[in-house]
């Protein structure tokens, strides 16, 4: 059973009529755990009611909460989520939040050293404290998985390039791929050319790009793997990319063939997009039925 640690924001997604627990690293962690992996989360919450509920939820869902810090200076994170008429989400992310101030400590270093994979995104670099903690932890990680998850204006070109160079696996959506490629000086237009360009420029052999309802492309050890997506009725896209990533890396870390892995990941991402919220319960039998309808 792989041991995986996720670093970054844990928070509440606040919709017009309700609120749900989220944050990309937590969404990834929850889905990884649902597939039987041993998962820890490094983050920080406020010493408040929302933080207490969040911590209870994380523990109830079987994740290790030992390295989630409780801040007395900053509140638990919240994000105002707005959905357009197609279910696509936009975000207004409160600052400062407790997860902007994740402190480096021996317990976090120790758990990262013992993990088979370390998952992180760009949002946690928007403040110096969490950014510095992340960069130090990357020095101790065995296999570094970078999900760009770009949220303007909370990142810089320089930090993205640095993180891509440190990563062993990079996950983009198609817009993020072209943005990052341009930062590195790409003159290419095709998806595959830019994936190869990123792989060579950053010395990263594993690169994945999601294409919304058109599926995903995976470059894995110099071979391309494709899935063209699944036909669904989108309810909301919140967390769909996170579940896709969790499903893909769970399969790959458990030595599943890359083609099977990307097919499975695209199915899980689609099933989340046709459900409300970031973390619907998906049974293995439901996933197989979705992939192979009779």
- Of the ranges 1-15, 17-31, 131-145, 220-234, the best mean pLDDT one: 131-145
Kindly indicate the confidence band of residue 47, based on its pLDDT and cuts at 50, 70 and 90. Answer: very high
Tell whether the model's pLDDT for residue 99 goes beyond 70.
Answer: yes
pLDDT tens-digit series, residues 278-292: 688 898 889 999 998
Average pLDDT, the chain: 94
Q: How confident is the model at residue 18 (pLDDT cuts 50, 70, 90)?
A: confident
Tell me, letter by letter, the H, E, C secondary structure of the chain.
CCEEEEECCCEEEECCCCEEEECHHHHHHHHHHHCCCEEEEEEEEECCHHHHHHHHHHHHCCCECCCEEEECCCCCEEEEEEECCCCCEEEEECCCCHHHHCCCCHHHHHHHHCCCEEEEECHHHCCHHHHHHHHHHHCCCCCEEEECCCCCCCCCHHHHHHHHHHCCEEEEEHHHHHHHHHHCCCCCCCHHHHHHHHHHHHCCCEEEEECHHHCEEEEECCEEEEECCCCCCCCCCCCHHHHHHHHHHHHHHCCCCHHHHHHHHHHHHHHHHCCCCCCCCCCHHHHHHHHCCC
Strand partners of residue 54: none
Among 84-93, 198-207, 228-237, 255-264, the minimum mean pLDDT is found in 84-93
Q: What is the pLDDT of residues 63-90, one digit of tens each?
A: 989 999 999 999 999 998 887 877 677 7
3-291 under CATH 3.40.1190.20, yes or no: yes
What mean pLDDT is predicted for residues 91-112?
Answer: 96
pLDDT of residue 87: 65
pTM of the model: 0.95
**Of 32-41, 205-214, 236-245, minimum mean pLDDT range:** 236-245
Peptide linkage before 153 cis (omega within 30 of 0):
yes
The pLDDT tens digits of the residues spanning 143-199 come to: 999 999 899 999 999 999 999 999 999 999 999 999 999 999 999 999 999 999 999
């Amino acid at each position: 059973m792989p041991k995986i640690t996720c670093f970054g924001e844990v928070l509440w997604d606040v919709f017009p009529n309700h609120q749900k627990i989220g944050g990309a690293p937590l969404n990834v962690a929850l889905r990884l755990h649902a597939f039987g992996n041993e998962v820890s989360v490094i983050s920080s919450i406020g010493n408040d009611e929302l933080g207490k509920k969040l911590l209870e939820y994380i523990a109830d869902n079987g994740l290790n909460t030992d390295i989630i810090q409780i801040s007395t200076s900053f509140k638990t994170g919240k994000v105002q989520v707005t959905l357009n008429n197609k279910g696509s989400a936009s975000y207004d992310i409160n600052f400062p939040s407790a997860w902007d101030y994740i402190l480096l400590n021996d317990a976090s270093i120790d758990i990262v050293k013992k993990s088979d994979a370390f998952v992180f995104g760009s949002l946690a670099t928007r403040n110096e404290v969490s950014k510095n903690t992340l960069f130090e932890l990357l020095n101790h990680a065995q296999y570094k998985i970078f999900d760009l998850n770009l949220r303007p204006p909370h990142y810089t070109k320089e930090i993205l390039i640095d993180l891509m160079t440190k990563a062993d696996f990079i996950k983009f959506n198609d817009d993020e791929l072209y943005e990052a490629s341009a930062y590195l000086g790409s003159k290419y237009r095709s998806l595959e050319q830019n994936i190869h360009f990123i792989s060579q420029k950053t010395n990263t052999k594993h690169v994945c790009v999601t294409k919304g309802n058109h599926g995903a492309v995976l470059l894995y050890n110099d071979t391309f793997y494709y899935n063209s997506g699944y036909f669904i009725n989108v309810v909301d896209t919140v967390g769909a990319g996170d579940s896709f990533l969790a499903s893909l890396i769970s399969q790959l870390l458990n030595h599943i063939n890359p083609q099977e892995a990307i097919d499975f990941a695209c199915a899980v991402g689609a099933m989340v997009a046709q459900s409300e919220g970031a973390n619907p319960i998906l049974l293995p039998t439901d996933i197989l039925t979705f992939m192979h309808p009779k």
